[in-house]
Amino acid sequence: MNPTLTQFGEQMSHLTGVRAIMKDIIETLRSSNGREFINLSAGNPVILPEVEQLWRDCTADLLASPEYGEVVCRYGSSQGYQPLIDAVLEEYNTRYGLNLSDRNILITPGSQSLYFLAANALGGYTTDGRLKQIVLPLSPDYTGYGGVTLVPEALKAYKPTLDIDEAAHRFKYRPDFSQLEINDSTGFVLFSRPCNPTGNVLTDDEVAKITALAEPYNVPVFIDSAYAPPFPALSFTEMTPVFGKNVVHCTSLSKAGLPGERVGITLGDEQVIQYLEAFLTNMCLHSSRYGQAIAARAIRSGALTEISERVIRPHYQAKFQVIEAALDQAMPSDIPWFLHRGEGSIFGWLWLKDLPMTDWEFYQELKQVGVILVPGSAFFPGLQESWRHTQECFRISLTATDAELETAAQRLAQVVQQVYGRLPVTV
Task: Give the β-pairing of 155-157 and 347-352.
Answer: unpaired
CA dist., res. 88 & res. 298, Å (int): 10
pLDDT, tens digit, for every residue of 297-336?
Answer: 999 999 999 999 999 999 999 999 999 999 999 999 999 9
Residue 51 has pLDDT above 60, yes or no: yes
pLDDT (0 to 100) of residue 19: 66
Q: Measured between alpha carbons, how far is 86 from 91 in angstroms, rounded to an integer?
A: 9
Phi-psi region of 248 (alpha: psi -120 to 50; beta: other; left: phi over 0): beta
Element containing residue 171 per DSSP (H, E) = strand 170-174
- Strand-strand pairing, 170-174 and 161-165: antiparallel
Cα(379)–Cα(394) distance, integer angstroms: 9
Among 200-214, 258-272, 411-425, the minimum mean pLDDT is found in 411-425
Phi, psi of 360 (to 5 degrees): -65, -40
Give pLDDT, residue 92: 98
Confidence label for 397 from pLDDT (cuts 50, 70 and 90): very high
Residue 302 — left, alpha, or beta (φ > 0 → left; ψ -120 to 50 → alpha)?
Answer: left
For residue 23, the model assigns a pLDDT of 77
Please state which of the ranges 6-20, 26-40, 327-341, 356-370 shows the lowest mean pLDDT. 6-20
- Bridge partners, residue 396, by sequence: 348
pLDDT band at 424 (very low <50, low <70, confident <90, very high): low
Give percent of the chain above pLDDT 90: 88
Phi then psi for residue 194, to 5 deg, are -60, 160
The pair phi, psi for residue 266, each rounded to 5°, is -120, 130
Distant-in-sequence contacts of 95-101, Cβ < 8 A, 24+ apart: 95/230, 96/240, 96/241, 96/243, 98/243, 100/267
pLDDT tens digits along 229-252:
999 999 999 999 999 999 999 999
Q: pLDDT value at position 391?
A: 97
Nearest-angstrom CA–CA distance, 214 and 117: 20
How many angstroms separate the CA atoms of 67 and 70, rounded?
5
